[in-house]
Structure 1
Amino acid sequence: MKTALLDGITPAKIDKQIIGNLLLNVASADEVRQEKMLVGVRNEAGEIYRLIGATKVNSYMNAIEELEDLGLVDELKDTEAPQDGCDAIFSAH
């Protein structure tokens, strides 16, 4: 899985735990957007600051589980349609 921080947006306070729990390769935002499935992570201000991209469904599901284990909530859980280009968006409230 690949990840990128979006320029100029403050990371969430929990960000170190997020990257500690997931095995992620740092890449450019453009590279991450080319992955098959995208997960966005919002900071406390409600802005998406990190993108996580996965090629395989397994990796994607692992990322979802890890983020849920950290207490983050997928706001698109009950939605089929992607939003802001993401298949899942987790909030760090």
Structure 2
Amino acid sequence: MKTTLLEGKKPAHFDKHIIGNLLLDVAPVDEVRQEKMLIGVRNEAGEIYRLIGAAKVNSFINAVEELLDLGLVDELKDTEDSRDGYDAIFSES
């Protein structure tokens, strides 16, 4: 899985836990956006500041489970549709 921080967005206070719990390769934003499935992570201001891209469904599911284990909530859990290109968007509440 690949990840990038979005320029000009402040990382959430829990970001170090994401990096610690998920095996992520840092990549340029264009490269992350090319992955088959995209996860967005919101900061305290409600802005998506981190992108996580997964090439395989299995990797995507593992990432979602890890983020849920951190106590984060997927805004798109009750829908089959993506939103703004994201297959999941996580935040604290």
- Class of the TM-score when normalised by the shorter of the 2 chains: over 0.9
- 1:67 aligns to what? 67
- 1:42 aligns to what? 42
- 1:28 aligns to what? 28
Contact persistence 1:14–1:92 (CA under 8 A): no
Query: 5+ residue gaps in structure 1?
Result: none
Q: Distance in 2 between matches of 1:58 and 1:80?
A: 17
Aligned-CA RMSD value? 0.7
Residue-by-residue CA offset, 1:34-79 (whole Å, 9 max, x unaligned): 0000000000110000000000111000000000000000000011
- 2:12 aligns to what? 12
1:19, distance to aligned residue in structure 2 (A):
0.8
Q: Distance in 2 between matches of 1:46 and 1:29?
A: 19
Contact persistence 1:76–1:89 (CA under 8 A): yes
Q: Distance in 2 between matches of 1:79 and 1:49?
A: 22
Query: TM-score, normalization: structure 2?
Result: 0.97
Identical residues among aligned pairs (%):
76
Query: 5+ residue gaps in structure 2?
Result: none
Q: Distance in 2 between matches of 1:67 and 1:77?
A: 13
